[in-house]
Structure 1
């Protein structure tokens, strides 16, 4: 067998081996590397590259070596779950850089960070003034997490005592012009409902690049043709307008009638509709 073909086949073989080993190690291996996992990952990659190009090396020995290094994170992870000191030693722990609004210079020196590097990390968190920070910690993964002082934190609906409707994730029901029946059944819909909604918008399934059902059960679509504009769902605005009209009509009836009983009835029902509007306003106007 020619050497170039041998190298090609070995490379493909170790590519598959490394792929499955990485899958076994889990997503943590590629998202949050500890010092130990970092060293292990580099070593496994080097072994695979060396064995793929050096045709005189044994494939079996290479697989055994990779498997040995792959077992190390599993063993270390198991021990880490049982022992906190071991976990801190292997995975490391966070280092506080700012506490109670004050810079901890000793901790910066300990982690070999300069003030310029800290400022750069803060800017990546959209923080440009150290005095705005209440607490900042450098995690074992190298990420800097920042807690702003209370007066510098953005306002939330809770701060303003606003009631908001609960939000659920959107479900993709059409992708590349194909209907995803499993996603449809997840949200309690079927193909008949979907096709009816598409007819309302004057489009066909084949023209839809992406279709999703949002948290309110409305269908939103993106078409292949970017020049075509699809109107946003109008069910909630229409319901809002209808309720407001009913409430206004009842108030008008109460003002226009001379009957005390009728006036009282109209006013009572007008208040009921207004209470209903107040309750569902976050949903209808979001």
Structure 2
């Protein structure tokens, strides 16, 4: 019984510790944008597993190892943000696979990257004709970045001297799951304005499940009860 209790407590502490660390540096760990963040994510998972489930390992020792690992990663983040040379050494550099429409065979061989690999990555990016590619770079994360030749680029409004209109903004959520998000209520989207908009639609705020100001500035409202065509028929069935 004591062993079961110890395992439960170790697992709980390990989980809470992982949540705290993830809140602090989770964006860097989850992104896998470089070698050391990928290595850290694997090592962190191993440490947490041993800390929580392997009762043969002293909890304090594995806990200290975990803390040292997180501190080391954080120090690397600070150094890489202040020193470009260190950042390049730690994170690596992208490798050019295609330049000016030509495949760089030597770079492909160094990475053991085959034409099948290149074609697969291009297809995943929606490029089925390699002749459309001007530049192709394999990022440190393993993702292929592609720049198409100018004649294959989609036509933009700027190319036709068109007015692009107002820039899009981040959506502002006003009501989530029936609860008003007070911190997002600021002029011109005040509580009074929201109530007025609800009244125009013949509803109250209590009827709204979700309300958001879209990126184009329009108000979207979803109700708790959506009266869809055929609802009565489905209920009868």
TM-score, normalisation: structure 1: 0.73
Q: CA deviation at 1:153?
A: 0.8
Q: CA deviation at 1:40?
A: 2.4
Q: CA deviation at 1:68?
A: 1.2
TM-score, normalisation: structure 2: 0.87
**Structure 1 SS opposite 2:97:** strand
- 1:176 maps onto 2:177 in alignment: yes
- 2:124 matched to which residue of 1? 124
Structure 1 215/31 Cα, relative in aligned 2: closer, same or farther at 3 Å?
closer
Q: CA deviation at 1:226?
A: 3.9
Q: CA deviation at 1:192?
A: 2.1
CA RMSD across the alignment: 2.0
Of structures 1 and 2, the one with the larger relative CO (CA 8 A, separation 6+) is 2
Q: CA deviation at 1:123?
A: 1.2
CA distance in 1, matches of 2:47, 2:170: 42
Unaligned runs of 5+ in 2: 230-237
- 2:27 matched to which residue of 1? 27
- The structure that has the greater radius of gyration is 1
**Structure 2 SS opposite 1:135:** strand
Corresponding residue pairs, total:
228
Unaligned runs of 5+ in 1: 230-286
- 1:222 matched to which residue of 2? 222
Cα deviation code 1:72-114 (max 9, x no counterpart): 2122223323443332222111001111011112111111211
CA distance in 1, matches of 2:124, 2:15: 35
**Structure 1 SS opposite 2:170:** coil
**Structure 2 SS opposite 1:8:** helix
Cα deviation code 1:208-252 (max 9, x no counterpart): 2211224565422122334449xxxxxxxxxxxxxxxxxxxxxxx
